Structures are given as structure tokens and as C-alpha cells.
Chains A and B, each alone.
Chain A
Amino acid sequence: MTAYLQAAGLDHSFGGLHALRACSFEVEQGRITCLVGPNGAGKTTIFNAITGFLRPDGGHVTFRGRSLNGLRPQAIVHAGIARTFQNLRLFTDLSALDNVMVALPRQFAEEPLGAIFRPLRAARGQTRLRADALRILDHVGLADRAREVVRNLSYGEQKLLTVARVLATGAELLLLDEPASGLSAGALDAVMTLLRRLQTEGKTLLVVEHNTRVVQQIADEVLFLHQGHLMARGSPQQIIADPALAEIYFGGAI
């Protein structure tokens, strides 16, 4: 049986820094898998390697049995994997609605010839895109903020918008980089509820998360990463109960 998402022997160095060392793991379909580990463990590097933003020095990634090696980011989105960024990377001068609309797949007049020679069809397409984007914004609870320019949104709203944007791509495997960091308690609950709901709707989630409370509440499985290597995997309870991992995670401070 082939795994849903499989990373095998990923290796990568940035100059002298060995960010990933023979890193292998699997993600099962339909689950929420949390990627945890101390700073510099290679979590974001793994995201970059899976989504084509970084070509690892060695190893390979397969998704539904298909190799993703050498594919560019847009091809990987088309294969069904989309990601968010830790630093959000929203289009801050555009409205929330436009941010989502950009990410919708299969748009007509995404090139100049269609826009110029088939303007009516382009306008009809826009109406449909707008409706689709509004539905997605409604789904994450931002429908009433749709026309707002992104930089006027609160940080919590911006985080939700990054989720709306990956949902818009239509991808089935979502890689979320710290969706809960920096959020107030209320916003945190909203994000966790949303992630659970996405799971029930058939999405598979791979989530980088630091907040152990969030990990305990949402994770079906935890992958513990240390120095670019998968150190342990298990249920949140198993991982948190392991004193050796706590020692690494909190740097021996407790």
C-alpha cells in the first residue's frame, strides 16, 4: 500500500547548515497531522521541499503514488497540495475577496487575449468567481469583511484569509504553517474549529504548530522533528508524555 503523502530520505543543506537529514515520514489521508519540533528543526524547510519552493539535495516526495520531484510550485498545487506561509504573504493592497479570487483554479481571461477579445465571457466568469470566493470567505467566517483591503484586517482575520486562499485552490492536502500562532484566545478557537471542520469535509491537513494546547486538541498524529530528522511519531498524548522530547522541545529549561 502506498502512503497518501510520503517523504523519503529528504536531505538539504543551506551552506554549512544541515537543515534536513534523511528525513522520512508519511501523512495519512483524512487526518490532521501536526509537525512539531524546536526552532530550526526543519519544519518550514519540509513545507518548502514538498511544495516545490525548494529542491532538496536528496530524497523524494510522492503524493498518491506520484513523484513530486522537480515539479514547480504551481504544478504541485494542480496535483492537489497547497500551502500557507508563516509570514502570511497575503496581497495586502488587494481586498480579501480579490485575495481569494486570485487563487481560484481554471479562470477564464487569466491572460490578455481572452480579456480583450471575449470581454462578456470574462465578465460572466468574474461574476461566478466572485460568488465562489464569497462562499469560501463565508466558510472561514470572513464574509462580512470581503470588500475590506487586507491591511485593514486584524491579524486573526488575516490568518483566516490565508486558509481561505488555500481552500480556493481546490487542493485536498493543505499545508498550514503556524495557523494559530499570535492569535488571541477567541481567534484561536475559531481557527481550531475551522481546521476540524475542514477535516470533516474531506481535507487532509499537515500543520506546523508550536502551541501544545492546539496540537493536543486538533492533532490525530504528531511528527516530532529534531535537527532535520524525524525523531518520533505518535498520538499527541504519547509525544507530550515523552520526557526526552520535552527536554529537546523546551531546551532543558524545565
Chain B
Amino acid sequence: MDFLYSYLALAAVYVMLGLSTNLLVGIVGIFSVSQAAVFGVGAYIVAHFLMAAAPLSFLPALAIAMVGCIALNILVTLPALRVSGDYFVVTSFGIQLLATAVFTNWTAGTGGANGLPGIPPPDLFGYQMASTFQLMVLCLCGLLLACTCFWLIMRAPFGRLLRAIREDEHAVAAAGKNVLRAKVSAAALAGAFAGMAGGLYATFLSFIDPSSFDLDSSILLLTMVVVGGARTLAGSIVGPFLLLAMPQALSMLDIPTTIAAAARQLIYGLLLIAFMLFRPQGLVGERL
């Protein structure tokens, strides 16, 4: 049963990341390949405050992480706020590499390549969580919260404004709207989603290391959005649940673990290419 619970908890975390990525890449058209870096910062911040000499409880630590990730995500998408274009991918790529370098080498803060073990499980209002089931419920609550926020903004004028910006930001400016402010708001929201995902991820696994927040992870997030479907809530949910189930499916086949890991990356890559070529709208989304 624990196996199913951890699948659901991790899938919930990746749905939040999927929403974060979908909001920027799918809806506003800011092609970020560094969402895993923001995710990582959220995870490290929560770990830091929970493991400090005078530890904070979970919710304040999560709040700090979310605020930090909001600020960071605005900062890293800043080049895309002024000019839209494919050049941003290169900038974003650089940001991701920079983040990985910091996660790996800042040993005092992040534990370096060895990672940070022993992150305590979350507590809520004085109640200490312990079982996988409880943690899963917490993650699913996070998922519900993030999905509700996403749904609400997409049915509000803000959602329409973001879609319009993706299509033609000059026309949006000509309609009297502040494009820059809308993009900053979207980046902030995407940062909040990634920060929340990071905090839940760190406390759920109780161990984090840079490999969860590297370029491969960012590309995995993009793959989830592409496979699930861009620009829709359903797509952001289906993608992570499906792609996280795949390693489990692979493990049922009788192949050595070393090959399985490589096979997984291979399959992710093939999926990304195949969907972009033959079904750019993903399973339940719209054309990217």
C-alpha cells in the first residue's frame, strides 16, 4: 500500500510542477527550461528551515520557500518579460546549469552532491506527521489547492489576458493592457507552485540531492506538459501521473536496474519527440 501512496504523493508534487511549467510555457509562452531549478530552491529552503538549530514548523518554512521561489522565478523569467522570443530558451538553459552548479558545489548550504539527508517530516499545527499515508494526504491537499488556483485564474479575465499575450503581446498593449505586469504575475504564480512542490517533495522524501533538480528534471517537466497536453488543467494532471507510472511499469519487466534507468531517459526522449511530431496537443491539451 505504501508503494501506491508514494506514487500518489510524488505524482501530486509533479502535478504542481506541471502547472508551474504549463502556466509559463503553455499559457504565456515563456519557454522556460529551468523550472526544476526553482523547484530545487523551494526544496532546499524548506529543508534548511526545518533542520535549523531553532527549526521552524512546516507551514512557515513552506511560506518562506514559496515567497523565495516567487521572487526567484520573477528574476529568472525577467529576460523573457521584456522581449519574447526563442532566445529566452538559451538564457533559461544557462540559469538551470547555474542552479545545478550551486546545488552541487555549495556544500555548506545544500550538502553538495551527497545531498541533504534527514529532513524531518512535516508538522501541521503542532501535529507531527509520520506515516506515508498522512504525507500523501498532505501532498494531495497541495495538489487540490494548486489545481483550484489554476482553474480559478484560467476562468477569470487574468487567464484570458495571458492567452492573448501568448498570441500577440503588441495587440494586448494596443488594447490598453499592461503586458509586463501580467507576465510578472504569471511568473510569480508559477514560482509559488514550484516552491510548494519543492517543500512537499523535500519533507516527503526526507532526502534531497541535486539530481532531482537538474536539467533532466526540467526536461521531464516539459515532457509531462507535452504528453499531458499544453494549456489545460487536465493536461497538467494527466502528464505527471502517466509519466511517473512508467518507471514502475518498467520495473515489472525483467531488466537490470542499470539498463532500466537508461531506458527510462530514452523513453522520455522518444515520447517528447513523438508527441511534438504527431500529437502536439498532447493527450488532453491544446496545440503548443
**A residues at B contact (CB < 8 Å):** 51, 53, 72-74, 77-78, 82-83, 85, 89-94, 98-99, 101-103, 105, 107-112, 114-116, 119, 122-123, 125-126, 129, 165, 168-169, 171
Contact = CB atoms under 8 A, between A and B. Distances in A.
A83 to B, nearest CB: 6
Nearest to A109: B156
B-side interface size class = 20 to 34
B161 interface: yes
A115 B168 contact: no
Candidate in A83, A98, A116, A169 with the most chain B CB atoms within 10 angstroms: A116
A171 B174 CA distance: 11
A102 B149 contact: no
B182 interface: yes
A209 to B, nearest CB: 19
A221 B217 CA distance: 62
6 contacts: A73-B170, A78-B176, A85-B171, A110-B158, A115-B158, A165-B175
Given A73-B173, A85-B171, A122 B157 contact: yes
Contacts of B177: 74, 102-103, 110
Interface of B: 149, 152-153, 155-161, 163-164, 167-168, 170-179, 181-182, 185-186, 188-189, 286
A103 B175 CA distance: 5
A74 to B, nearest CB: 5
A208 B112 CA distance: 63
Contacts of A125: 157
B157 A109 contact: yes
Nearest to A150: B167
B175 A102 contact: yes
B173 A74 contact: yes
A169 B195 CA distance: 37
B172 A112 contact: no
Contacts of A53: 170, 173-174
A107 B176 contact: no
Contacts of A94: 160, 163-164, 167
Given A91-B164, A92-B167, A93-B163, A108 B157 contact: yes
Contact of B171 (A89, A108, A126): A89
B30 to A, nearest CB: 15
Candidate in B153, B185, B186 with the most chain A CB atoms within 10 angstroms: B153
User: Nearest 6 A-B pairs (CB), nearest first?
Assistant: A77-B176, A115-B156, A103-B175, A109-B156, A89-B171, A73-B173
